[in-house]
Amino acid sequence: MSPLPLDRFLPGVSPMVYGCMGLGGDWDASPVEARHVTQAHRALDAALEAGINFFDHADIYALGKAESAFGRALKERPALRESIFLQSKCGIRFEDAKGPKRFDFSAEWIRASVEGSLRRLGVETLDVLQLHRPDPLMVPEEIAEAFTALRGEGKVRHFGVSNMQRHQLEFLQAALDAPLVANQLELGLHRLEFLEEGVLANQPEGTASNFTPGSLEYCRRHGVQLQAWGCLSQGRFTGRALDDQPALVKATAALVDALAEQYGVSREAIVLAWLRRHPANIQPVIGSTDPARIAASGEALRIRLSREDWYRLYVCARGAELP
């Protein structure tokens, strides 16, 4: 595979990302315990062993405890900071005394979120900060001021977004003096809209695609790293009980099984290799806390699916032949 688009900004960054949402215990006000730190150590070791050196956080994960647990593990192994990349996200606020669940891209909230993440992680700099979900009230010029200040203070090296389409990217980028380096979207065998939007152009079925036309091409043209959250499809194709699943999911899981045997890798590796086969050099974000499943996911780096096997999986997952 050619270098990742993100490699221009973070040389040596891994082709896959470890997503830390599962760390830190329950999403409540209970404290981080030693067992949560141990879990973070195990996840770190499994990810590094699998060839993953990029770790994805968000200020809301486990209400901040995911970052805290990871930060405590990192404090016990400070030399690791020099060999890993850290990304976090901000912009989601849960219901509180001031209002309902909402999105907040105000300069004040962005700064407070970054400083909170740095404190919980115990580091001085985030390699990447992403805006988590589009805020209808966002003012690009205000965001630009916040980004410029944070970069100037050495608190964030690069900026990106999550769950945005091309028009939002273009609108925001026009106000910034540095490129947005990544866009994290839900992509996978269970979420095919990023492919269907193009394949079904000029087809009646295409009207049902919930993916803004040109978003994929915009990211590829402008070197925005596509990252795929939810890419293991919640285990639909890698061993989860399928009694309540539709026939096309069962058929796709069976095909994943057959290809795993053919390529001599895990089922997780096949699911992830399918994403990695796309020429956009998509970066899968692995969210499992199970070291064995993290290791199984790492096997995706060993293989490249043939064009025919890629299409077999795509056609099977979409449940109908291509137009």
Tens digit of pLDDT for each residue in 257-286? 999 999 999 999 999 999 999 999 999 999
298: number of Cβ within 10 Å: 24
Question: Quick check: 291 and 45 in contact, CB under 8 A?
Answer: yes
- Mark whether 61 is an active-site residue: yes
Please give the pLDDT value at position 42.
98
102 within 8 A of 133, measured Cβ to Cβ: no
Instruction: Report how far residue 96's alpha carbon sits from residue 261's, in angstroms, rounded to the nearest whole number.
Output: 50
Average pLDDT of the chain is: 96
Beta partners for 156? 126
Distances (CA, A) of 309 to 30, 66, 131, 259, 313: 47, 37, 35, 8, 6
| 205 confidence band (pLDDT: 50, 70, 90) | confident
Strands (E), 221-305: 225-229, 283-286
pLDDT of residue 211: 87
CA–CA separation, 133 and 93 (whole Å): 11
Could you give the maximum distance between any two Cα atoms of the chain, in Å? 57
Percentage of the chain with pLDDT > 90?
93
What's the rounded Cα separation, in Å, for the pair 50 and 295?
A: 5
Q: Could you give the CA distance from residue 282 to residue 220 in angstroms, rounded to a whole number?
A: 10
Lowest-pLDDT choice from 1-5, 49-53, 98-102, 183-187: 1-5
pLDDT digits (tens, 9 = 90+) for 48-98: 999 999 999 999 999 999 999 999 999 999 999 999 999 999 999 999 999
Position 201 confidence tier, pLDDT thresholds 50, 70, 90? confident
pTM of the predicted model as reported, rounded to 2 decimal places: 0.96
The identity of residue 210, as a single letter, is N
| Per-residue pLDDT tens digits for 156-166 | 999 999 999 99
What's the DSSP call for residue 16?
S
How many residues can be counted in the chain?
Answer: 323
pLDDT of residue 232 exceeding 80, the answer is yes
Q: What type of residue sits at position 136?
A: P
Provide the pLDDT for residue 210. Answer: 77
Give the whole-angstrom CA distance, residue 71 versus residue 208: 43
The answer on pLDDT for 204 being more than 80 is no
Whole-number pLDDT of residue 202: 74
Please identify which of the residues 61, 218, 263, 314 carries the catalytic annotation.
61
Answer for the pair 183, 226: CB distance below 8 angstroms, yes or no.
yes
pLDDT tier at 208, thresholds 50, 70, 90 = confident
Quote the pLDDT of residue 105: 98
